[in-house]
Structure 1
Amino acid sequence: MITVIIRFFDILMAGLIAGTLFGIWIGFDPKSLSAPTYVEQQQSVIKALNVLMPILGLITILLTITAAFLQSRHQAVFVTLLVAAGFLMISGLVTRFGNQPINSIVMTWDKMNVPANWTELRDKWWLLHKIRALTAFISFCLIIWSGMRKD
């Protein structure tokens, strides 16, 4: 029963992470935004998600690893979940060492006085976001697939 509960929350949490990152990717492409609009939008999203998402990510990594070891007798499921945890870790590392340092800089900006290099930072953040969204999505798919296995 504990394995079922862990798997349920693992799928739920991985879905929340992948869904949030995918939604940002599809709905918030900043390329066409003016500097003031970009800063206002980005600061709002940073305030809402900058602490919550890493916490959800850490919980999901721990759930995925726990689920893997609870099912270690099923080699395919075990390995798949460890690979999924690895992709979640990549997403977390990209966030921590790529996106969050840029977030810290953007939070200091005044939307009416944006630095000249704002588009460079915007584009770097966006590329990193796409990488972390893709790795989270791959992880989510692997977690779902492992739950559908009939070994």
Structure 2
Amino acid sequence: MNIAFERTARRGFYSVTLNGKRSYVPFRLFYAVFPRMNRQVTRGTVEATDRQLEALGIVAEIMEKDRHQIRYTVELGYDIYGRPCATNYIVNAFHLGQTIAIVPAAFRRITGAHERATDGCMDVTGAQLGELGFIRKEVVSNAASNAILSA
């Protein structure tokens, strides 16, 4: 069976179409499933065996469970002379009801956003949410239950 793939603008992921559904797969796992693939090819189709389809399906299912959407905007700060002096990304995770401000270098390193990106939305994993500084409810509830058990 042929699988359509495309390297995404978000660094480190391939967009793969499986059974008519688009999924995002980390490039290292994509290359682990297709080890002989030319890594300079950015889009196309690849012939997959049943085992490769199963492996990609498992990876895609895991990635779907751990996807969260964020929205980001660049905020410029100005000094008393009107010159830009500070820049932050304002990042919203609407499903958590939280908004944070983060320096651009950290935001780009964690999410893989392009350095010219000024506003938009993207999907991130739970680990990336934590690294950005968002507080997830399931993490807080696990920490609270561990604190109760250790007391």
Q: Which has the higher helix share?
A: 1
What is the TM-score of this pair, normalised by structure 1?
0.29
Q: Which has the higher strand share?
A: 2
Higher relative contact order (CA 8 A, sep 6+): 1
Bigger CA radius of gyration: 2
